[in-house]
Amino acid sequence: MSSPSLPSLRGADLLVAALETAGVRHLFSLSGNQIMPVFDATIGSGIELIHVRHEAAAVHMADAWGRLTGEPGIALVTAGPGFTNTLTSMYVAAMAESPLVVLSGCSPRSRDGQGAFQEMPQAEIAGRIAKASWTASEPSGLGHDLARAMRLARSGRPGPVHVALPGDVLSGECEVSDSERPLVTDAHPVVSLLDRETATTVHTLLGQASRPLVLAGPAMVRGPGPGILEEVERATGVPSLAMGSPRGINDPGLGAFAEVLAESDLLVLVGRKPDVGLRFLEAPIVADDCQVVLIDPDADVLQQHATSLETAGRLAASDLADSLPALERLVQSATAPRSDLADWLARVREAIEFRPPEWSEITASDGQPVHPVQLARAVHDALAAAEESVFVSDGGEFGQWTQAIVGSTHRMINGPSGSIGAGVPFALAARLACPAARVISTVGDGTFGFHAMELDTAVRHNLPMVIVVGNDACWNAEHQIQLRDYGEDRLIGCDLAATRYDEVCRALGGWGEHVERIEDLPAALERAIESGQPAVINVGIGRFEAPIVRR
């Protein structure tokens, strides 16, 4: 008796089934010709399409999902211009070490090289930014393409992975048995552990140093990262922290850390590249005789930086290992914390927590624009009142002030890329990832314009959160450069209109308020939160240069 034939399925059906197997619940997407089979395949599945207004926003949302959950966010975009719209946001995610998968529809394989509609080498283009990038070749293999992409996105240094999906691969039919489909474990990351001998060497070096520091990279500023760094500090007595700001040692959220970094005689860098953020470990930022331990998940990083450090006589040890398990091994292999480092630990903590005392005295009298410090304090208080909170900060001068002051349960900033514009889509994804949290995003008036239309996405998908726009009617970062480098008589091209962005939100169906006096902001924040709607509070602020904290 012959066995019954297998049902014929489209490649798109196998892709969606693999997404469900991997536990994916949201697909951040903008529709387009080449990906319509995937849209169709999601009908009746457990996957919700979050349909956005710009492809870059879809990737920003997938990025935010990855940062907040540790699970790769999935973005689905169409071919050609739809794909190229994702390149900046992929770069943002790569620099922030955020796990995500970008799926892009592309021209049919059967027409390769014949000038098909929107034909371009998408896999090759994305490969210059993503951790890995390839073009799917067979409908039957799409599930395994997805599992591989999710596995790579989380393995080693987290980051974006891109897969191009030809239209004829998505719509093509095949027969695949259950045993031939990917398992949930196929999407799990491959983990590289720190060698036990290296861990022993690191502890020996930490025991000999007078002013050691453990510095981790952007992947450790979120999720389990801060917690494991606290455990390292308790287990060893050595100050331990992560760095994830585009301003590196001048991150205002790290206070006066640059001052104590210059005194260190041993740096243990765990997934923290000795790049521009650490001023390439050059004096006077880092002492010439400071020894360095380099632990990194990328062999290329080790080869590049370890060689130069060894040549300079500064490399104390190096090893290939993932950041989180490396830090966990240092905790497990520690014997007792060094009590003699108590003063050094206190000095480092004091430097990080330092904020100029004059900030607490800043006020704005009637008729003067609000100072960013005042606005940041109000946002901090609003988030502190919630049991769980997410603070999102875009870049720019205004963002540096809020990053210096606002605390929260979860925190997302633009990251080492230095890119701006992700504050609105980040906030939408934060609402999905943390449904019980209070979500507030601070953005400048310039950055708000990048993705203001995603407020329409928020309204359509019922994603309440609060966007606070610091409105100085200016591209202030560049305005400050012009003032500093060329003088007040050489200002050009940086002014914006004093637009009422709260009215933009109301026009799209959300909540909006305009604030001119700082004493009105706390109540406006509360009303926006209680509205249960996507909300924008437009606050007129002064044009102040970003802070660099020094004591």
431-446: per-residue pLDDT in tens?
999 999 999 999 999 9
Q: Do the Cβ atoms of 106 and 81 come closer than 8 Å?
A: no
Closest CA to 86 of 112, 120, 122, 48: 122
- What fold is seen in the domain 8-187? Rossmann fold (3.40.50)
- pLDDT for res 143: 96
Q: Do the Cβ atoms of 29 and 52 come closer than 8 Å?
A: yes
Q: How confident is the model at residue 180 (pLDDT cuts 50, 70, 90)?
A: confident
Q: Fold identical between 8-187 and 196-353?
A: yes
Average pLDDT of the chain?
95
Q: How confident is the model at residue 179 (pLDDT cuts 50, 70, 90)?
A: confident
Calpha distance 149→146 (Å, rounded): 5
- pLDDT for res 190: 95
Question: Which three-class secondary structure state does DSSP give residue 358?
Answer: helix
Could you write out the DSSP letters of every residue in 106-175? Answer: E--GGGTTTT-TT---HHHHHTTTSSEEEE---GGGHHHHHHHHHHHHHSSS--EEEEEEEHHHHH-EEE
| pTM of the model as a whole | 0.96
- pLDDT for res 550: 85
Per-residue pLDDT tens digits for 365-401? 667 889 999 999 999 999 999 999 999 999 999 999 9
Calpha distance 364→325 (Å, rounded): 48
- pLDDT for res 16: 97
pLDDT of 3 above 70: no
- pLDDT for res 7: 82
Per-residue pLDDT tens digits for 32-73? 999 999 999 999 999 999 999 999 999 999 999 999 999 999
Stretch 232-244: mean pLDDT: 98
Architecture of domain 196-353: 3-Layer(aba) Sandwich (3.40)
Per-residue pLDDT tens digits for 400-425? 999 999 999 999 999 999 999 999 99
- Report the helix count and the strand count for the chain, using DSSP H and E: 23, 19
User: What contacts 24+ positions apart, CB below 8 Å, involve 122-129?
Assistant: 122/79, 122/83, 122/162, 122/164, 123/162, 123/163, 123/164, 125/83, 125/84, 125/87, 126/83, 126/86, 126/87, 126/90, 126/102, 126/162, 126/164, 127/162, 129/87, 129/90, 129/91, 129/94, 129/160
- pLDDT for res 366: 67
- pLDDT for res 185: 95
- Whether residue 547 has a cis bond before it, omega within 30° of 0: no
**Angle formed at CA 347 by CA 350 and CA 336, multiple of 5 degrees:** 115
Q: How confident is the model at residue 4 (pLDDT cuts 50, 70, 90)?
A: low
Q: How confident is the model at residue 361 (pLDDT cuts 50, 70, 90)?
A: confident
Stretch 248-266: mean pLDDT: 96
**Angle formed at CA 340 by CA 321 and CA 232, multiple of 5 degrees:** 25
- pLDDT for res 6: 78
- pLDDT for res 2: 43
pLDDT of 1 above 60: no
- Strand partners of residue 320: 296
Q: How confident is the model at residue 5 (pLDDT cuts 50, 70, 90)?
A: confident
**Angle formed at CA 522 by CA 516 and CA 524, multiple of 5 degrees:** 65
Q: Where are the domains of the chain?
A: 8-187, 196-353, 357-540
- What tokens were used for 389? 């909170």
In CATH, what number does 357-540 get? 3.40.50.970
Stretch 212-223: mean pLDDT: 97
pLDDT of 123 above 50: yes
pLDDT of 224 above 90: yes
Q: What percent of the chain has pLDDT over 70?
A: 99
